Chains A and B, each alone.
Chain A
Amino acid sequence: MEESNMHKNLAVIAAVDVIASNADLLSEILLRLPARSLIRFSIVCKRWFNIITRRQFSLSHSRTLALSNGLSPSGIYFYNCLTKLQKIESLSLTDDNVISLPSLQFLDELTNIIIINGDHIVEVDEFRVTQSCNGLLMCLFTTTSDAVTTRKGFVYNPANKASRVLPPVYENCADEFVYYNLISDPSKPPYYKVLCVARIDNNWYSDIDASVYEPGSDSWRRCCTVSAPEMGFDSGVFWNGAIHWIGEYVSLYFDVNSEKFGTIIMPAKLQGQCTQKIRYFGEWGGHLHLIQVQSLSTKRFSVLELDKDTLEWSVKYRVHLDRLISAFPEMVRKTALHDTQYAFSILSVIRGENEENSVLLLTISGKVVAYNLVLKTVKVVRELPGKVANTLCFNHTCAYQYVESLNPIGDKEVKEYSLNQG
């Protein structure tokens, strides 16, 4: 008995030693953990820290997650279009004990990054998230240095705080005609790219020019120039291997592999005087959704989905807001012309694993609510600060998915959550 116990202990000690000393074996186990667990386990010991923060490990981890369909969003960052507040909010969407998303209050860090990049005294004037793709955020910030204002593109991973300031591009174009879009495919190198689209003649009717940035490079590569309808090219939605943008009559896409533009016919335009008919355009779980409304007085609308094969839009869900409006009468607004309007902004269509879990996430006065698209039930998800503005304006994309990933972004070995910080 004693002998067998001794053997058991020997065997356990031997096995623990093997795991501790064999980095490949330990990595095999760690690669299968979620990003959040890994960041937490970086304090287990220095050896674990060194493995987890290694660039190659981060890349393998993102790739493993991508190949096992593990890159589902665990939350969203969003702007509340209904208020004049420009503060970015966050919302966790998981059922477990994750309370919040990583904070984006990193203006101080930003200033550090700019100094590292060789500038002198730099003030960050404005900072905005414009898009997200598989765990990475596309951000824009404007800075003032020696009275010159510059806008820069910035790629950020909130999970491991990895970041990259993009080199300048289209410097002769006005900022309002330059659009940055992130394309991230963690399953294969180069893991992410940035597409910049610009109206080269600085007007809404001019041709658009596209350039691509890949990590490891210091400059942009020009792809093509095409004519394009009057529309914006920010907040592109990555779906089915292409970045999609929505316009009034057609939607445009940029195919990542062929690096060519294409068009998709829009669904029939809704009647009515409203200028902001497109209230939502976004992707969830491989589904591309579009919501159009007739007017600000609309209570009824459809959620459309684009078919992957035919590239045609069809109705996926029909929404009637009666129940929501009676539960939250503060949504009702009477205008001077005795018109009745309903104040809501659509954050996201969220497809559940089961159809009964598919919800429409909306902001209304002071709240985020989830409207179940199948069961037609309503749930308050959280309270929100700020008062609804007098004039309603909308953005068809105001929520940005948060996907936990260790994508290291930079092309150099950087210990992002380093011991030697500061």
Chain B
Amino acid sequence: MASTTETKQKKMLILKSADNDEFEIEESVGVQSETIKNLVEDGFTFVPLPNVYTKALIKIIDYLKKHANKTDSNDEEIKTFDKDFVNTTFDDLFELVSAANYLHISCLMNMLCQTIADRIKDKSPEAVRKIFHINCDYTPEEEAKIRKANAQAFEGQFDESLD
């Protein structure tokens, strides 16, 4: 926790989530997000984020704080933090990726997209539909046709689990 005098010297920003919670963070932490950086450059210190819910925002602020203090010596620590950060449910990952996309935080986007891809790559199309909350809009005939034309890609056992 920074002391009161230090806090006064540092430029602070207030972020407001979609569910109306407010968070105070240092400007230097916030500007890792391109979206926030652009607003700060336009003179804003109060940043409403209508597309980012509190739960995701708390996690993202954690991430930004950790990565703002990147030095040569805490490389391992950040790696462990990142690993824990993505070790969560698909629904949480989707919230985070959609928030990171809105906030334009490219290193976080890369990490989240890679995590989602790695976790779905061996799954069955049916499992992927459930994970992404997608209703299939193919007729059974259409689906059968694509399966037949690409038979090799459907060979083998796929992961049906949803986590």
**Chain A residues near B (Cβ < 8 Å):** 7-8, 10-16, 18-20, 22, 25, 28-34, 36-37, 39-49, 96-103, 161, 417, 419, 421
Contact = CB atoms under 8 A, between A and B. Distances in A.
Given A32-B113, A419-B145, A37 B120 contact: yes
B55 A8 contact: yes
Given A7-B53, A14-B51, A45-B137, A40 B113 contact: no
Interface of B: 18-19, 51, 53-56, 91, 94-95, 97-99, 101-102, 109, 113-114, 116-118, 120-122, 124-125, 128-129, 132-138, 142-143, 145-147, 149-158
B138 A43 contact: yes
A415 B121 CA distance: 22
B149 A417 contact: yes
Contacts of A98: 155-156
Given A41-B120, A46-B138, 10 more contacts: A12-B133, A32-B117, A36-B153, A39-B150, A40-B154, A41-B125, A42-B146, A45-B136, A47-B137, A98-B156
A71 B12 CA distance: 46
A22 B101 contact: yes
Q: Is the interface of B mostly helix, strand, loop or mixed?
A: helix
A13 B117 CA distance: 20
Given A37-B122, A421-B149, A32 B137 contact: no
B121 A37 contact: yes
A89 to B, nearest CB: 15
A25 to B, nearest CB: 5
Contacts of A7: 19, 53-55
Given A25-B98, A30-B117, A99-B156, A44 B136 contact: yes
Nearest to B117: A32
Of B99, B122, B150, most A-chain CB atoms within 10 Å: B150
B99 to A, nearest CB: 8
Given A12-B91, A42-B146, A45-B135, A96 B98 contact: no
B51 A18 contact: yes
Contacts of B113: 28-29, 31-32
B97 A44 contact: no
A108 to B, nearest CB: 13
Nearest to B144: A43
B143 A14 contact: no
20 contacts: A12-B95, A15-B91, A20-B134, A25-B97, A25-B98, A31-B113, A32-B116, A33-B120, A40-B124, A41-B120, A43-B125, A45-B129, A45-B135, A45-B136, A48-B134, A97-B157, A98-B155, A417-B146, A419-B142, A419-B146
Nearest to A24: B101
B63 to A, nearest CB: 16
Contact of A10 (B53, B98, B128): B53
Contacts of A18: 51, 98, 101-102
